[in-house]
Chains A and B, each alone.
Chain A
Amino acid sequence: MDNITLAQGIVKAAALLGAGMCMGMGALGPGVGEGFVAGKACEGIARSPENASLITRTMLVGQAVSESTGIYSLVIALLLIFST
């Protein structure tokens, strides 16, 4: 870890920078999507409060599915950090 050449250092720095950019951009879409789903669920609960538990369950599953693109970018960022 201490004795690395200049080229290895550049590759490592580029991988770390790429990991940060990957997480930053990959977190945009799931953030917007989950907020949208939560807002729609709020509207649904306000319209029909008797279905609140069903709406909450569906909302959680939908959020977990729409979160998956963010999780893919997390996996790619971890690969970039730990395998270069």
Chain B
Amino acid sequence: MAKKKSPILKIFILFIIIETALVFVSGGFNKQLQIGLDDGKFVFRNIQSHYDLQERITEEFQIDEHYRQTGETPEIYGSNKTYEFFKNIFGKATAIGTFQLLRMLLIVDIMLLFIALLIKKRLLKRPSQPQILFEMIYTTLEQFVIETLGKERAHFTPYIVTLFLFIWVCNMVGMIPIPGFMEPTRNLNVPLGLGLFAVAIVHITALKVKGVWGHLKNYVNPVKNPLFLLDIIGELSKVVSISFRLFGNVLGGAIIILVVSSLVSYVVFPVGLNLFFGMFVGTIQAFVFTMLALTYIGVEISE
């Protein structure tokens, strides 16, 4: 008679299957696994793991610098003509990095559009499961907006939901083990743009609500507010703080995953680390970014 398997054993077997599948996928299909005896020791490693950690990190995070140091020609463009085209636009220093960033942003946008169209196509009165999920996200964030800004300003909800979903999908897309896939938020330009946009929206809203002079008198009136320069610096530091928080979390997680993978010679795909730094930290940081943008708007309006 068959004994019922405990759920822990089931999870363990699933974990092993995912590990072995991801080992071969994450190698990019061009690496070979070496299992056997080598120099009298038992060996289980990727053969192409001879380069050291510093070079690997440079290749992963500063790809233009890597190609400049090694002098190799990048393979990603296929032909020289395409590379020259991108080099003319972006300059030699950041050609490949910018190309990769734009490619990943395009992939994220296509995924978001695809999900949105798929949900919109089959809106039902008795909702299906994905529709319930997205309605839950929308109503939860709408509740936050109404609590912070009041019921008459609930029209901020689409912006907040879009911000959350975009950053969340950006953080999630780096977990797909395809070579060349990375989080777009790993590049500083994306969080900096989002932060600048959020602070710009804060000030445009304040100008609309309080009037031009009503808003500007906090900043340009030296009699009422002698330390107005510090206020302006504080507004700029909002951008820096909100964007560097997201950027540093994503980049730090990616570097830790890379270092741990190099410690095990790229054999074991770190599923647990990907779960923590990819899913948990990614979700929390997307939520924190959204909540901070909402709080900035709320503080500026309520005065």
Residues of A contacting B284 in the complex (Cβ-Cβ under 8 angstroms): 60-61, 64
Output the nearest chain A residue to B283 by Cβ-Cβ distance. Answer: A60
The number of inter-chain residue pairs (CB within 8 angstroms) is 39
Give complex CA distance A61, B287 in Å. Answer: 8
Residues A72 and B291 in contact in the complex (CB < 8 Å), given A64-B284, A78-B255 = no
CB distance from B241 to the nearest CB of A (A): 6
B57 A71 Cβ-Cβ under 8 A: no
- Which residue of A65, A72, A82 contacts B288 across the interface (Cβ within 8 Å)? A65
Give complex CA distance A74, B256 in Å. Answer: 12
- Which residue of A61, A64, A71 contacts B244 across the interface (Cβ within 8 Å)? A71
Residues A68 and B58 in contact in the complex (CB < 8 Å), given A78-B251, A78-B255 = no
| Interface assignment of A13: CB less than 8 Å from any CB of chain B | no
| Interface assignment of B247: CB less than 8 Å from any CB of chain A | yes
| Interface assignment of A75: CB less than 8 Å from any CB of chain B | yes
CB distance from B198 to the nearest CB of A (A): 15
Provide the main secondary structure of the chain B interface.
Answer: helix
| Interface assignment of B28: CB less than 8 Å from any CB of chain A | no
| Interface assignment of B130: CB less than 8 Å from any CB of chain A | no
Within 8 A of B (CB), among A60-81: 60-61, 64-65, 67-68, 71-72, 74-75, 78
A75 B288 Cβ-Cβ under 8 A: no
Residues of A contacting B69 in the complex (Cβ-Cβ under 8 angstroms): 1
A74 B248 Cβ-Cβ under 8 A: yes
A74 B291 Cβ-Cβ under 8 A: no
Residues A68 and B287 in contact in the complex (CB < 8 Å), given A74-B248, A82-B62 = no
Residues A68 and B241 in contact in the complex (CB < 8 Å), given A61-B291, A82-B58 = yes
Give complex CA distance A82, B249 in Å. Answer: 17
Give complex CA distance A60, B285 in Å. Answer: 10
| Interface assignment of B214: CB less than 8 Å from any CB of chain A | no
Give complex CA distance A75, B292 in Å. Answer: 20
- Which residue of B62, B252, B291, B292 contacts A71 across the interface (Cβ within 8 Å)? B252
Give complex CA distance A63, B244 in Å. Answer: 16
Binary A-proximity of B25-66 (CB < 8 A = 1, otherwise 0):
000000000000000000000000000000001100110000
| Interface assignment of B217: CB less than 8 Å from any CB of chain A | no
Give complex CA distance A60, B241 in Å. Answer: 18
Residues A64 and B288 in contact in the complex (CB < 8 Å), given A72-B244, A75-B247 = yes
| Interface assignment of B210: CB less than 8 Å from any CB of chain A | no
CB distance from B277 to the nearest CB of A (A): 13
Give complex CA distance A53, B255 in Å. Answer: 32
| Interface assignment of B245: CB less than 8 Å from any CB of chain A | yes
CB distance from B186 to the nearest CB of A (A): 12
Binary B-proximity of A40-75 (CB < 8 A = 1, otherwise 0):
000000000000000000001100110110011011
7 tightest Cβ-Cβ pairs between the two chains A and B: A71-B248, A68-B245, A64-B288, A75-B248, A74-B252, A64-B284, A74-B248
List 15 other contacts, CB 8 Å, given A60-B284, A68-B244, A75-B248: A61-B284, A61-B287, A64-B285, A65-B245, A65-B288, A65-B292, A67-B245, A68-B241, A71-B252, A72-B248, A74-B252, A75-B247, A78-B251, A78-B252, A82-B62
Interface residues of B (CB under 8 A from A): 57-58, 61-62, 69, 241, 244-245, 247-249, 251-252, 255, 284-285, 287-288, 291-292
